[in-house]
Amino acid sequence: MECVDTSALRAAIVEFLDAERAAGVYEPRSDSWMRSFDRDFSRRLGERGWLGVTWPREYGGREQSHVARLTITEELLRGGAPVASHWIGERQIGPAILRYGSDALKAEFLPSIAAGELTFCLGMSESESGSDLAAVRTTATLDGEDFVVEGTKIWTTNAHHSQYAYVLACTDREADKGARLSEMIVDMDDPQVEVRPILDLAGEHHFNEVAFDGVRVPAGRVIGEVGNGWAQVTAQLAFERGGPERFLSTYPLLGALAEAVADDPRAAPAIGGLLARLRALRALAWSVAMLMDAGEAPIAQAAILKMMGTRFEQDVVEAARALVPGEPDPTDAGLLGMVAGAQLAMPGISLRGGATEILSGIVARTIKAG
Ligand SMILES: Cc1cc2nc3c(=O)[nH]c(=O)nc-3n(C[C@H](O)[C@H](O)[C@H](O)COP(=O)(O)OP(=O)(O)OC[C@H]3O[C@@H](n4cnc5c(N)ncnc54)[C@H](O)[C@@H]3O)c2cc1C
């Protein structure tokens, strides 16, 4: 593993972001990893070697640590940068392919993800199976050399921008959850895929419903073993839940708020409390990254980080509502607009990536099992 000077890396990213902002490429915003889409920006990150840094060089990576990757993701999120194009692919589909995929899948997808060229969406949730992922009803039936995929996914973030979908499907209806699911990659430009937009509370389009109507997926596009999807997706969720986006999504708001109330002594306890919690969350994220560097899938630690992180993000919004005079206003270009945007995103924060109650169950079961 290549040793990286994380302070120099952090400084280089901050300098890059300052230049991008000065060139008018983006305005910082909360929740940018889901809402700010700019493929050219992702390509520029890829050119600088800041995507897929933990992956082997032969697949476009840099063989650096998860701690180096955390340094990059922290700064991108703190800067509210437009990272949605590569986020899902780089965060969890690439690592899933690397861990379980065939050499052919690795060669086909990893270099393009690391170059910032590819957008993936996550086809896990369905209308009757969000928390209970094991109950997905989308089927993939083997027919000759292909699986034929039938079913509908929902809440599929940025499916309308994606070239590929990761799909969790049932490949054996008779089997129990340990053997009934498989993970596969589906081409989004297949004519049998239909993407239907869903607007969120703020009236923005990032969610979709995605229907697969007899899409033929070559068997070689299955990630890992057919029937091993449950074990694989559980490990993948550690990547989904254990990153700094679970507590830094509202950082642009926290930064602007701290600046706005810096001279108000009555605000100090609230801001100080939030910053202390932020420090603890960062320490937890670093320990998750170090466990990943040690080759582990820290499922319980990632669940704890997400639970505590999303609660923190919600408290940032509550603090902003209490401390900023005036009504939150989505049309406002300043702080009141940022508060309104974050407030409208708030209900989804604790649901996406696994609801808090479900995460509590994972933590309790893991601790009980020792
Ligand atoms: C902003 C956002 C982005 C998302 N993006 C994606 C995406 O890209 N791809 C994707 O596949 N999905 C995505 N999702 C869906 C997300 O993963 C699901 O919303 C989540 O898993 C919860 O599932 P559900 O909505 O079906 O709620 P349900 O599972 O119906 O849960 C509703 C409530 O019941 C509680 N509950 C359910 N079961 C239990 C239980 N056993 N014990 C205690 N309480 C329980 C839950 O905690 C929750 O509060 C996204 C969601 C949001 C909000």
Please report which confidence band the pLDDT of residue 354 belongs to, taking 50, 70 and 90 as the band edges: confident
Residue bearing the CA closest to ligand 1, atom 23: 130
182-to-68, 133, 266 alpha-carbon distances in Å: 31, 12, 54
Q: Looking at per-residue confidence, does 353 or 210 come out higher?
A: 210
Task: Examine residue 236 and state whether it is found in any structural domain, yes or no.
Answer: no
Average pLDDT, the chain: 94
User: Which pLDDT tens digit goes with each residue over 277-326?
Assistant: 999 999 999 999 999 888 887 888 999 999 999 999 999 999 999 999 99
Which percentage of the chain shows pLDDT scores above 90?
Answer: 82
Rounded Cα distance between 360 and 307, Å, is 8
Residues 211 and 254 in one domain: no
pLDDT score of 369 more than 80:
no
- What pLDDT, on the 0 to 100 scale, is given for residue 239? 77
Residues 162 and 77 in one domain: no
The CB of 156 under 6 Å from ligand 1? The reply is yes
The answer to whether the CB of 208 is under 6 A from ligand 1 is: no
Q: Are 214 and 192 in contact (CB under 8 A)?
A: yes
* Cα-to-centroid distance, 126 and ligand 1 (Å): 9
pLDDT in tens, 33-45: 999 999 999 999 9
Instruction: Supply 180's token pair.
Output: 């009934």
Report the separation in Å between the CA atom of 285 and the middle of ligand 1, taken as the mean of its atom positions. Answer: 23
C-alpha radius of gyration, the chain, whole number: 20
* Same domain, residue pair 133 and 58: no
Is any atom of ligand 1 closer than 6 Å to the C-beta of 195?
no
Name the pLDDT band for 108 (thresholds 50, 70, 90).
very high
Q: What spacing in Å lies between the alpha carbon of 229 and ligand 1's midpoint?
A: 19
What residues contact residue 178 under an 8 Å CB cut-off, 6+ apart?
Answer: 230, 231
Q: Are residues 172 and 257 in the same domain?
A: no
312 lines ligand 1 (CB under 6 A): no
**140 in the same domain as 102:** no
How many independent structural domains does the chain possess? Answer: 3
Cβ of 221 less than 6 Å from ligand 1 = no
Residue 59 lies inside a defined structural domain of this protein: yes
**Do both 67 and 185 map to the same domain?**
no
290 lines ligand 1 (CB under 6 A): no
What is the extent of the structural domain holding 287?
A: 242-369
CA of 351 to the centre of ligand 1 (A): 5
125 CA closest ligand 1 atom index: 11
What pLDDT was estimated at residue 265? 93
The answer as to whether 273 is a domain residue is: yes
Tell me the pLDDT band of 353, cut-offs 50, 70 and 90.
Answer: confident
Question: What is the CA(355)–ligand 1 centre distance, in A?
Answer: 5
**Shared-domain flag, residues 298 and 251:** yes
Whether pLDDT at 237 is above 90: no
Same domain, 179 and 205: yes
What percent of the chain clears pLDDT 70, i.e. is strictly above it? Answer: 99
Q: Is residue 70 part of a domain?
A: yes
Q: 211 phi and psi, to 5 degrees?
A: -105, 135
Q: Determine the Cα–Cα distance for residues 343 and 31; give it in Å rounded to an integer.
A: 11
* Residues paired with residue 182 on neighbouring β-strands, in sequence order: 169
Beta-carbon contacts of 132 under 8 Å, excluding residues fewer than 6 positions away, are: none
pLDDT at 235: 81
Q: What's the pLDDT at 242? A: 86
Q: Average pLDDT in the 327-352 region?
A: 91
Handedness of CA 248, 81, 351, 327 (dihedral sign): positive
Looking at the annotation, which residues are catalytic? 240
Confidence at residue 370, expressed as pLDDT on a 0 to 100 scale: 62
My answer on whether 27 and 48 are in the same domain is yes
* pLDDT value at 110 more than 70: yes
Chosen domain end from 118, 138, 153:
118
**In whole angstroms, what is the distance from residue 335 CA to residue 341 CA?**
10
Q: Is the pLDDT of residue 126 over 80?
A: yes
Q: To test the ligand 1 pocket, which listed residue (210, 349, 352, 360) has its Cβ within 8 A of the most ligand atoms?
A: 352
Q: Looking at the structure, do residues 85 and 127 belong to the same domain, yes or no?
A: no
Mean pLDDT over residues 252-264, rounded?
Answer: 95
pLDDT (0 to 100) of residue 309: 95
Question: Which CATH number goes with the domain that contains 140?
Answer: 2.40.110.10
Cα separation, 118 vs 161, whole angstroms: 10
What lies within 8 Å, CB to CB, of 238 at 6+ separation is 288, 292, 297, 298, 299, 302
Domain stop point among 198, 227, 256: 227
User: Where is the domain boundary, 101, 118, 135?
Assistant: 118
Q: What single-letter DSSP state applies at residue 135?
A: G
At 154-190, the pLDDT tens digits run 999 999 999 999 999 999 999 998 999 999 999 999 9
